[in-house]
Amino acid sequence: MTSRVLAIALDCHDPEPLARFWCAALGYAVVKRWTDAHGVEYLELAADGEPMLLLQPVGEDKVVKNRMHLDLEPRTGGQREEVERLVGLGARVVSDEPEFPWIVLADPEGNEFCVLPRS
């Protein structure tokens, strides 16, 4: 008996602009919206064969570096070209150091993620 990863859930303040960012970043679409017992609306972002991203509105602010984050790889093109595209979508560069292969960005709500070169 084991479990599978059904979704990667991300707490947020404002799910609509964050959904637009992550859908454009990953080529995902909002495939479902549903409301929990407390009236909170969740957004499911998905694409065939890829892990689902679930945006979950919360009251708390982001206060420290996220302990879990996504590592992204461009499907086509180069790493820097993809970083530029993501910055154009609303991300910002957090760190870009020559000794590491990854470039650290943050999404419009400050959630860190990394962009690696294509393997």
Q: Which two tokens stand for residue 74?
A: 């461009």
Nearest distance from residue 98's CB to its own copies, in Å?
9
Instruction: State whether the Cα torsion 59-21-8-66 is positive or negative.
Output: negative
Measured distance CA(57)–CA(14) in Å, rounded: 7
Q: Which two tokens stand for residue 110?
A: 């400050």
**50 counts as binding its own copies under rule CB under 8 A:** yes
Nearest distance from residue 89's CB to its own copies, in Å?
10
> How big is the site for its own copies, counted in residues (CB under 8 A)?
49
Instruction: Give the binding site for its own copies (CB under 8 A).
Output: 1-11, 24-27, 36-38, 50-51, 54, 60, 62-77, 81-82, 85-86, 99-100, 111, 114-116, 119
